[in-house]
Amino acid sequence: MAVPYRVAGRDGFVPRFASPDVDVEDVAARCIRIAAAGADQYTGVQLLGAIPARGRGGAADTAGLSALAVDVDVEGDGHAATTDTGLPLPPSQEAAVGILAGLPDPTYLVATGGGVHAWWIFNRHAAVDLVDAKRIVRGWSDLVRGRAHGLGWHVDQTGDLARVLRLPGTINYKYPGRPVVEIVASGPRHSLDELASLIPAQEPEPERSTAFVRPASGGADAAEVTARWSAETDWATLLEPAGWTCSRDNCHGERHWTRPGKTSGTSAVSHDDPPVLHVFTSGSELPVGTSTKLDVYAGLHHGGDVRAAWHTIASLLAAAGPNVAGLARFVADGGPAERTGGRLVWAARQIATEADRNILIRQLIRAAVDRGLPLDTAARAAVRGLRSQERTAPVGH
């Protein structure tokens, strides 16, 4: 079981886990002590198959379904005034609970200080494959969101297997007054079949508007295309059209991002070297954990299908020709300084068949020199790249 915590003023969760052979009362006591020391304490909604190799675990680490749960925020400090549906949040805890009227009574209803969590715990663990588990969890969240929409209120999409919620009996340090997270009502346990039967058939997701994708310059090899496109595509190009906002930029290749639906706080941190995004919140379309730019593009525009995302990037290669400005950026900023020469060799290969290659190569050499490569070393690397491409060019018959 995941029992992560987050220290106030710091980004991300500290992963912690409880094994089945550990006394649950001891686990609860440790969680209470951590919370009393100033940390926000959480618990995973689903059980894990094993302790994850990295982080606090994701959807693939879960083992079937143990419960369904929703998180209903209410208006007030700490929540955005605008939402992705354009509807307001429920104005009070009573209104939030009213959204659940007509559904089976939750096993636990938890007041968090900023809203309510509703848990429907199963009378036994359900061994469900990953695809069905995702569909059921997402469908239950959509069911509650639909009921809220009918009342004119917004509920966040929290239907993901890696969801963690605040642990009752701990303190919510997000709000003034530090409210205690407490169970305010309880009910029976339920069967998976009982709850799943209430989930309406899911409609196909609407097509996304076509996003601008910069064609990768040069090279048809999959790894080369991915590296090129990643070097030429800024994180803002990927995240801002999807509603993410940059909340802090340290001007040294690290930026902090706030997810759609929130006005403050760090939901993810991007890095330029290496080009990865660390996502801390499960309240967005991107999975918690570390993702490459291709992973992010696939998650936002191709339902997580990396192969489809790559084909979108690669499809414009033939018509686009080499993007020399992008190649220069790759030489200068595409990796560690000690590998600048290797990047220059590769970049030179991409322009070797161009009629004006002797002019274009100057821009690549200049980029390498700006990164710290001596001019004579850069010139030799450029020549090596041009000649290696000439040697491998097919011979006409």
**pLDDT digit string, tens, across residues 312-344:** 777 644 445 567 877 888 788 766 667 788 778
Task: Enter the tokens of residue 209.
Answer: 């508007």
Least confident of 184-188, 193-197, 302-306: 302-306
Are residues 249 and 105 both part of a single domain?
Answer: no
Nearest residue to 314 via CA among 177, 199, 213, 397 = 213
Q: How high is the pLDDT of residue 190?
A: 96
In whole angstroms, what is the distance from residue 358 CA to residue 114 CA? 63
In a domain, 207, yes or no: no
Q: How high is the pLDDT of residue 394?
A: 36
Confidence of residue 388 (pLDDT cuts 50, 70, 90): low
Q: How high is the pLDDT of residue 94?
A: 95
Are residues 159 and 173 both part of a single domain?
Answer: yes
Q: Which residue has the higher pLDDT, 237 or 95?
A: 95
Are residues 246 and 347 both part of a single domain?
Answer: no
What percent of the chain lies above the pLDDT cut of 70? 83
Are residues 371 and 226 both part of a single domain?
Answer: no
Q: How high is the pLDDT of residue 3?
A: 86
Instruction: List Cα–Cα distances, 78 to 114, 182, 261, in angstroms.
Output: 8, 19, 11
Are residues 158 and 41 both part of a single domain?
Answer: yes
3-state DSSP call for residue 5? strand
**Mean pLDDT score, 46-53:** 83
Looking at the structure of the chain, the number of domains it has is 3
**pLDDT digit string, tens, across residues 137-185:** 989 999 999 999 999 998 988 888 888 899 999 999 988 889 999 999 9
Are residues 110 and 247 both part of a single domain?
Answer: no
Whether the Cβ atoms of residue 344 and residue 378 lie closer than 8 Å to each other: yes
Instruction: List Cα–Cα distances, 342 to 70, 309, 346, 368, in angstroms.
Output: 51, 27, 6, 10
In a domain, 211, yes or no: no
Confidence of residue 202 (pLDDT cuts 50, 70, 90): low
Residue 296 confidence (pLDDT) above 60: yes
In a domain, 287, yes or no: yes
In a domain, 80, yes or no: yes
Confidence of residue 209 (pLDDT cuts 50, 70, 90): very low
Q: Which residue has the higher pLDDT, 203 or 39?
A: 39
Nearest residue to 113 via CA among 68, 166, 66 = 166
3-state DSSP call for residue 230? helix
CA distance between the termini of the chain: 66
Q: Which residue has the tokens 């959509």?
A: 142
Are residues 294 and 171 both part of a single domain?
Answer: no
Confidence of residue 369 (pLDDT cuts 50, 70, 90): very high
Domain boundaries, position 360: 322-392
Are residues 49 and 72 both part of a single domain?
Answer: yes
**Mean pLDDT score, 341-365:** 85
Are residues 185 and 150 both part of a single domain?
Answer: yes
Work out the number of other CB atoms within 10 angstroms of the CB of residue 319. Answer: 7
In a domain, 282, yes or no: yes
**Mean pLDDT score, 372-390:** 83
What percent of the chain lies above the pLDDT cut of 90? 30
In whole angstroms, what is the distance from residue 355 CA to residue 347 CA? 16
In a domain, 183, yes or no: yes
Q: How high is the pLDDT of residue 168?
A: 94
* Exposure class string for 331-350: b at 16+ Cβ within 10 A, else e: bbbbbeeeebbebbbbbbbb
Residue 390 confidence (pLDDT) above 60: no
Where is the domain boundary, 276, 295, 317?
317
Least confident of 12-21, 254-263, 292-301, 345-354: 12-21
Where is the domain boundary, 317, 340, 358?
317
Helices (H), the chain: 24-36, 93-98, 130-150, 192-196, 222-232, 235-239, 293-301, 306-314, 317-320, 324-333, 340-351, 357-370, 375-392
Are residues 191 and 266 both part of a single domain?
Answer: no
Reported as type and span, the H/E element at residue 37 is none
Q: Which residue has the tokens 């058939």?
A: 201
**pLDDT digit string, tens, across residues 92-150:** 999 999 999 999 999 999 999 999 999 999 999 999 888 899 899 989 999 999 999 99
Are residues 179 and 269 both part of a single domain?
Answer: no
**pLDDT digit string, tens, across residues 2-21:** 888 888 766 667 888 887 77
Are residues 230 and 263 both part of a single domain?
Answer: yes
Q: How high is the pLDDT of residue 11?
A: 60
In a domain, 119, yes or no: yes
Q: How high is the pLDDT of residue 335?
A: 61
In whole angstroms, what is the distance from residue 167 CA to residue 35 CA? 9
Nearest residue to 113 via CA among 154, 171, 65, 193 = 171
Q: Which residue has the tokens 């549906």?
A: 85
Where is the domain boundary, 162, 196, 230?
196
Least confident of 46-50, 176-180, 387-391: 387-391
Least confident of 217-221, 280-284, 351-355: 217-221
In a domain, 212, yes or no: no
pTM: 0.57
